Homo-oligomer: A and B are copies of this chain.
Amino acid sequence: MITSTMQDDFQLTVTGILQHGSRVYPDSECVTWTGGGARRATFAEIAQNAERLAAALAKLGVNAGDRVATFCWNNQEHLEAYYAVPCMGAVLHTLNIRLPAAQLVQIVQHAEDRIVIVDDTLIPALAPVVGELTGVKAFIVVGDGDASALGDSARVLRYSELLAAEEPGFAWPELEEGSPASMCYTSGTTGDPKGVVYSHRSTYLHALATLGAAVTGFVETDRILTFVPMFHVNAWGIPFGAFLSGSTLHMPGPYMTPEPICEFIASERSTAAAAVPTIWGGILQYGAEHDIDLSSLRVGTSGGAAIPRALMEAFETKYGLRIIQGWGMTETSPVGGMAHPPADVEIGSLDELDWRLKSGRVIAGVQMRIVSDDGEELPWDGEAVGEIEVRGPWITGSYYAADVPEKFHDGWLRTGDIGTIDHRGFFQITDRSKDVIKSGGEWISSVELENLLAGNPEVAEAAVIGIPDDRWTERPLACVVLRSGSDAEPAELAKFLDGKVAAWQVPENWTFIDEVPKTTVGKFDKKVLRTRFQDGELKVERTK
């Protein structure tokens, strides 16, 4: 029997990523914005600090598999924890700093976090629940701000003091590539948050795959402004990818508003930025009234929600900045698709923008399919609409300590996204499966209606939900926030949709609200709207 002679037992680990970055790119930097200026650390220094942190955590009794949580902005210390915790064999649990208190407690308890590393500026957000986090042995405070709100001082340690007491040179253990490296809970709008546990293997493969020129193409000359939070899905894998490519990391810390962001970009000459559409929109709005310099940016990446065409166009026209849209979710590490236009479309052409507005094109390493309601695989013809399912080495196959069989289908993850795939792997998400409106046996995309309504100058934002209907089973209810000063009527808004969608898709149910409720990561929280509708809190006007 012939067998491979390759080193197939060579383990793909986060430690390998750390070592590559610190040995081959020792001078690349993590630059953390401090408001008026920046703190800098080279990758070599990050690696040494990670060794110190691991030594300190080991002394605190952190063992293999123990969960060490972070409650931090994107900054240098968070990056050090990103490496120290997995490389020592423990599990990094990144906590969403915007979670409601009850969910935060629930997640910390569910994950059994033993240590929490917390930014001093975030102590006010953590303090109210500290008393309930009885399983946490220590809070390690980053920065020298007042920590008295954390209570019991025996549990409170200082990050800088812990590191100062240690020497570099921690002996990283040999780890199996399948061992757990980090975990993250979904901030889904339905049901309890669910945790996924990333392995060393999945983290390594995801980082390697994202470096492809058809994904990010990041190289050593890049300086990547990482807006996408490190507390959410590995910050799209950028902190790991950067150590493989040698790209310098630009970390905004708590400075997430347009003014300091633009200062950061102009002063540090960021070449790339990764952010959700809300951030991009904020920059654009700020730029309308201020003189900003984005000339250093060669590319922008947008994800987390569909980016409006107008936003993409404005960046291109005004700043010459191309924005590429990516797709992913907590369960997919996250990158599963990037909307780079196909080879036969000329860069810079009008047509090209249409391609970049697609949800994505399947990237190498991920397998995708769409299936009908009855579980049948549908063709890649750009027409057939079904639920998108994915599988691959960085896709979750289960949830942590939770049995959720309905999210899986023959080994594929059901993404909950509804859409089409064309014959070249471009997919277009039209809705979330829980939001799609099933009217008379046909599907109406709530997202499409929302995007069209948002294009009406009278409308600030709009969310569309399905409500019960005797004849059609379900019909759309448009929940509209008018721009201040507008007194647009439902009939006027319905008329605006004429010809833009099929006549039967135009909502006849309308309600005006003050704002669309949002989740902690800024997505429309339609669950709240549905509850308000059921509780009779929404005043519905009918146009026919």
Contacts and interface: CB of A to CB of B under 8 A. Distances in A.
A178 B2 CA distance: 11
Contacts of A19: 367
Given A220-B343, A365-B208, A425-B23, A179 B4 contact: yes
B67 A20 contact: no
Contact of A67 (B2, B4, B27): B2
A19 B24 CA distance: 33
A379 B364 CA distance: 37
A325 interface: no
A299 to B, nearest CB: 12
Contacts of A180: 2-4
Interface residues of A, number: 76
Given A211-B213, A220-B214, A197 B8 contact: no
A219 interface: yes
A380 interface: yes
B214 A8 contact: no
**Which one of A2, A26, A67, A199 has the greatest number of beta carbons of chain B within 10 Å?**
A2
A483 to B, nearest CB: 42
A391 B12 CA distance: 12
**Which one of A212, A244, A340 has the greatest number of beta carbons of chain B within 10 Å?**
A212
Contacts of A73: none
Interface string A298-326: 00000000000000000000000000000
A362 interface: yes
A245 B364 contact: yes
A342 interface: yes
A20 B361 CA distance: 11
A395 interface: yes
Nearest to A202: B6
State how many copies of this chain the complex holds: 2
Contact of A5 (B10, B196, B411): B196
A201 interface: yes
Nearest to A1: B65
A423 interface: yes
Given A7-B395, A10-B391, A367-B19, A212 B214 contact: no
Given A27-B424, A220-B342, A5 B397 contact: yes
A197 to B, nearest CB: 5
A247 to B, nearest CB: 9
Contacts of A67: 2
A254 interface: no
A217 interface: yes
B5 A399 contact: yes
Given A2-B180, A25-B424, A245 B213 contact: yes
B400 A2 contact: yes
Given A6-B199, A7-B397, A219-B340, 19 more contacts: A3-B180, A5-B197, A5-B400, A6-B394, A7-B396, A10-B391, A20-B365, A20-B367, A23-B380, A24-B364, A25-B425, A208-B364, A208-B365, A211-B211, A213-B217, A213-B219, A221-B343, A244-B364, A245-B364
Interface of A: 1-10, 12, 16, 19-20, 23-28, 65, 67, 91, 177-181, 183, 195-199, 201-202, 205, 208-209, 211-214, 217-221, 244-246, 333, 340, 342-344, 361-362, 364-365, 367, 380, 391-400, 411, 423-425
